[in-house]
Amino acid sequence: MNKRRKELTPEQQLFIESAWLLCRNRERILRDPCMAYAPINMPNGLMYCGDKAFKGATIGVYLDWWQECEKAVVTDEDGRRKLIVCFGGSMLSGWNKCHMVDEEGLASEARVQGFPTLWHSFSRICHRYADGEKPEQPYCLEEVICRLAGRYEE
């Protein structure tokens, strides 16, 4: 993951580092559309399709995905839970590479079984959010984190 992480933008790095904070504050975030619709631009993609199926991902998309898709939260052989934060692969062959982060902030990458379920559920949730009622001015990721930390007045 180290090589891959060097290619990520500061906002993408922040998302990876904050994934578990966001997950632990799921209910609060989903109650506030400005937080839930904060955009998350991770380099997810499918061979032959690129990232078209995943445009418009938001914090709410990821929170719902981690909740609704069993494969989006991986438990390793040591019992550590890991959130998938980024993925790519082929919908035809099932080959994939998923980037994940555990509760201690350690990043790793691995292939997962059932990749079609993973990307299909993510795409479905992206479309659900795209069809939802978006706030005029959603927060950015950094602002959501600051609000969760109490650095902004609610």
How far is Cα 136 from Cα 114, in angstroms, rounded to an integer? 36
Comparing 58-62, 109-113, 121-125, 149-153, the range with the smallest average pLDDT is: 149-153
Q: CA-to-CA distance for 72 and 115, rounded, in angstroms?
A: 10
pLDDT per residue as tens digits for the range 13-31: 999 999 999 999 999 999 9
Which of 37-51, 60-74, 75-89, 138-152 has the lowest average pLDDT? Answer: 37-51
- Alpha carbon 81 to chain centroid, angstroms: 15
pLDDT surpasses 60 at 2: no
Of 9, 68, 17, nearest in space to 41 by CA:
9
Burial bucket for residue 3 (CB in 10 Å: 0-12, 13-18, 19+): exposed
Calculate the average pLDDT of the chain. 88
